[in-house]
Structures are given as structure tokens and as C-alpha cells.
Amino acid sequence: MSVKSTGKHVLLQGAGWILVILGLAALVLPGPGLLALFGGMAILATQYEWAERRLEPVKKAALRTAADSVKSWPRILLSLLGVLVLIGIGLFWGIGVEAPSWWPVDDKWWLRGGWGTGGTLIASGVIAFALIVYSYRNFREPSLQDPGSR
């Protein structure tokens, strides 16, 4: 194996495993867990036969979850509210508001602030919004998209 192909192999494996780990974490934390897991498995499937064999069930679950997320207007609106809250928290964190007077412990334990963390939260909100739009355009039943089409 040449150095170039070895480097590509290592980069693909690294990206795949990082996405798998992030996907697993996002299954219990806020985030598109199944989508990240599917992306990681898809990358690993280019390198390993075992990953290719396990890719289809993860893909089906990710697509089913995406379709369920836009099944009703309350789900869509709640998701959009979550996006706005996430972006709002990112802005709040980025600005780095000083500790309020009611804060019971030393000020050094208040939010550190900064645009590193705030920007990450804002980026997560933008990604979540893009996923909602993608799911709406690709998985929403046509009869539910336009109330006048019934």
C-alpha cells in the first residue's frame, strides 16, 4: 500500500469512527444521532465488509426517523422552536453575559462565554434547521403539505 492510499485509508477510518461515536452520543444527547451514525457507517462501509452488512438497517431507521419528524405540524413547530432556542443560547453564550446577582457561587463558575462555544451552538441550530427543511421536502406526504390539495 502506498503512503497516499494509507493516508486516505486512515482519514476515512477516522472520519467514519468519529461520526459513529458522535452518532451514538447524539442518540441520547440533542442532535441527529441516527443521521451521524448512518454517515459514519456509510464511510466505514467503503473500508469494511462488516460495516456494509450493517448499513441497511441503520439507513432504514434514519429515514424512518426523518419521516416521523415531519409527520405533523406540532412536531415541525416544536423542532423549529428547538432550533430558535439553540441559536438563542448560542448568541447568549457568545456574548458572554456577566454572572447575575442571584448566582450563588463564585463568578468564575458562571458561563465562561465566548464565540467558540456560542458559534458551535449556533452552527448546530443551523444544521438542525437544514435537516428539518430536508426532511420536510423529502419525506412529508404531499397531501399533508398543501391543505388545499384534499
pTM for the full predicted model: 0.65
Residue with cell 438542525: 128
Distance set, CA 97 to CA 24, 66, 87, 101, 105 (Å): 32, 36, 15, 12, 16
Quote the pLDDT of residue 50: 92
- C-alpha grid cell for residue 135? 426532511
Quote the pLDDT of residue 146: 52
Over 80: is that where the pLDDT of 117 sits? Answer: yes
Name the residue with higher pLDDT: 141 or 80. 80
Quote the pLDDT of residue 6: 85
Band (pLDDT 50/70/90 cuts) for residue 44 is very high
Rounded mean pLDDT of 118-135? 87
Interhelix angle for 33-45 vs 3-28, to 10°? 160
Quote the pLDDT of residue 150: 44
Quote the pLDDT of residue 93: 86
Per-residue pLDDT tens digits for 65-116: 888 888 889 989 988 998 999 999 999 889 887 888 898 988 888 777 788 8
Percent pLDDT > 70 in the chain is 91
Neighbour count for residue 110 (Cβ, 10 Å)? 14
Over 90: is that where the pLDDT of 23 sits? Answer: no
